[in-house]
Amino acid sequence: MKRFGPIIAIVVVCWVVFILNNVMLGGSLTQYGIHPRRIGSLLGILWSPFLHVSFGHLAANTLPLLILGGIICARSKAEFLGVTATGILLGGGLIWLLARNADHVGASGLIFCYFGFLIARAWFDRTFVTFVLAAICLVGYGGILIGLLPISSHVSWEGHLAGLVAGIAAAAMTTNKNQAIAPAEIPGLKITPGK
């Protein structure tokens, strides 16, 4: 259970901040999310994943955050922390630089980061375990990819896309190139250079 401590802590912080913000402070903390291209909003890159505008918003994010984040925690807590930092900093930075002028808050960017990371690891590592994890993620959560489309002005599709890009980048940065099997390493297969 200790292995899952980091993702549980993130979800608990989201709920504590939600109660503090929406029950006690009337939603006033939401102004500390990401407001693209405003210098005063740079710190919002750090705060925005923990801010949610409604109970439904947070409830919808809680289970996929726990499951996808839990899969990465099960692999390695250090890997989870690196992917999460990449999701918050790179994903949030891309939102700040490129997103439309709106308030961008919520953990869905992190969800897309975890999803992108787990799918991309299969591409970069090409091991049985990463393929199985990618298949599980696609079957269980492939439907979230609809969130990349600008179908609602109330949904930060830019945040989803930025999170996905951050997750793929994290996978590329953390991939152990030696795990992939090169043709010359397949047992019983001999490759002669130049033939």
Condensed to tens digits (0 to 9), the pLDDT of residues 127-143 reads: 999 999 999 999 999 99
User: Would the pTM count as exceeding 0.75?
Assistant: yes
In a domain, 123, yes or no: yes
Q: What is the pLDDT of residue 84?
A: 98
Q: What is the pLDDT of residue 1?
A: 80
In a domain, 13, yes or no: yes
List of residues 6+ apart from 45 with CB closer than 8 A = 34, 88, 89, 92, 93, 95, 96
Q: Which of 162, 149, 73, 184 minimizes the C-alpha distance to 118?
A: 73
In a domain, 193, yes or no: no
In a domain, 34, yes or no: yes
Greatest C-alpha distance within the chain: 72
- The pLDDT confidence band at residue 176, using thresholds 50, 70 and 90, is low
- The pLDDT confidence band at residue 189, using thresholds 50, 70 and 90, is very low
Angle at CA of residue 133, ends 92 and 85, nearest 5°: 20
What total of structural domains would you count in the chain?
1
Cα gap 169→83, rounded to integer Å: 9
SS3 for 41-105 is HCCHHHHHHHCCCCHHHHHHHHHHHHHHHHHHHHHCHHHHHHHHHHHHHHHHHHHHHHCCCCCEC
In a domain, 184, yes or no: no
In a domain, 143, yes or no: yes
Cα gap 24→108, rounded to integer Å: 24
Domain of residue 92, residue span:
2-176
In a domain, 76, yes or no: yes
In a domain, 67, yes or no: yes
The angle that helices 128-141 and 108-125 make with each other, rounded to 10 degrees, is: 150
**In this structure, what CATH number is given to the domain that contains residue 119?**
1.20.1540.10
